Amino acid sequence: MYQPAYDPNDLEKYFVLRVNAGDVEGLVALYEPDAVLVNDHGEMFKGLNQIREFFVKFLADRPRFEPSNQSAALCVGDLALTSSTNFNNGDITAEIARRQPDGTWLWVVDQFSIGIKR
């Protein structure tokens, strides 16, 4: 069982920890079943099976992430817009998370890079 995100900004923290641990299933657990992920090359992955396949390939190179500079989540009802800036390359991410019935948060949309650098 993975530590659930009780705050939408926890998702990014768990993402970094799980990437660094090489934990594919832990990463997949951050997403809703019909979530969409778009990587920094603009390729789209829909649903947990495609997201899992993406992370298997992504983690093959054993990337190492540092915590990013997160903006405060912008919440309205059960939706939250999260965003962070990568300290290494300046990429800005954008994600939409949804509060689950048990009060935890999962990503519905994950855009690795919105094409703007800081």
Task: Please tell me the predicted confidence (pLDDT) of residue 38.
Answer: 95
Domains of the chain: 10-60+68-111 (3.10.450.50)
Q: What is the value of pTM for the model shown?
A: 0.91
Task: Please tell me the predicted confidence (pLDDT) of residue 3.
Answer: 93
Query: pLDDT in tens for each of the 118 residues of the chain?
Result: 789 999 999 999 999 999 999 999 999 999 999 999 999 889 999 999 999 999 999 999 998 888 878 889 999 999 999 998 876 677 888 999 999 999 999 999 999 877 655 5
Cα dist from 97 to 25, 53, 115, whole Å: 18, 21, 20
CA distance 37 to 51: 7
